[in-house]
Amino acid sequence: MTSVAGEAQDRLEKELRISDPRINDRIRVPEVRLVGPAGEQVGVVRLEDALRLAREADLDLVEVAPNSRPPVVKIMDYGKFKYETAQKAKEARRNQANTVLKEVRFRLKIDAHDYETKRKRAEGFLKAGDKVKAMIQFRGREQSRPDQGVRLLQRFAEDVAEFGTVESTPSIDGRNMVMVIGPLKNKADAKAEANAKRAQNKAAQKVTEEENA
């Protein structure tokens, strides 16, 4: 059976994880630069004064910039802060996992109609929260004209700039030139916006049907 001392040691080790900031009595410096609970700059104060203000507010004193001189601390609800941070990290991982890399292929001598078709397809991918891998396939002597490929991809990036930004600039990959464009909206936001638009269209259609009845 685990001893009480052993359990206490385990708890202490968990509390002292490097990934967690120092809070309250674990902060061991004579003075700190204090930030209030609303983000207001209080200034440099003695540690005991900062701890007293945190206790009076029924909140925690959290070291947010330990390498500053003096360290920067903030008065906050640390439990709530940790929960919100974990939720944001979880959401970011979920959005990253849901993001798909879609591919759009170009020829160096692409005609205007084909280019517009590719552009509209890419915009659809970006609106849905997916990344777009734009690829130019060089043939024969076209490989000796990479500057033309760069200009085509730069033009494409400018044309879809309303929906995405360049994450990876044009680079040579074998016989191809590749550029990656990331969406301005993440997958979750894009899906929510699409659902809201569909609901709005349905409501408008219903009103029209009732007026025509």
> Tokens for 14?
């968990």
In one-letter notation, the amino acid at residue 36 is G
Strand pairing class (41-46; 101-107): unpaired
Whether the pLDDT of residue 74 is over 90: the answer is yes
| 59 & 112 share domain | no
Would you state the pLDDT for residue 103? 93
How many Å apart are CA 27 and CA 78, to the nearest integer? 14
Containing structural domain, residue 12: 4-77
What's the structural domain count of the chain? 2
Evaluate whether residue 163 is within a structural domain.
Answer: yes
How many Å apart are CA 104 and CA 111, to the nearest integer? 15
| 34 & 112 share domain | no
| 121 & 53 share domain | no
How many Å apart are CA 4 and CA 145, to the nearest integer? 73
What is the CATH classification number for the domain harbouring 110?
3.30.110.10
| 146 & 181 share domain | yes
| 103 & 184 share domain | yes
How many Å apart are CA 106 and CA 190, to the nearest integer? 26
Q: Tens digit of pLDDT for each residue in 22-46?
A: 899 999 999 999 999 988 998 999 9
How many Å apart are CA 196 and CA 193, to the nearest integer? 5
> Tokens for 33?
């630069």
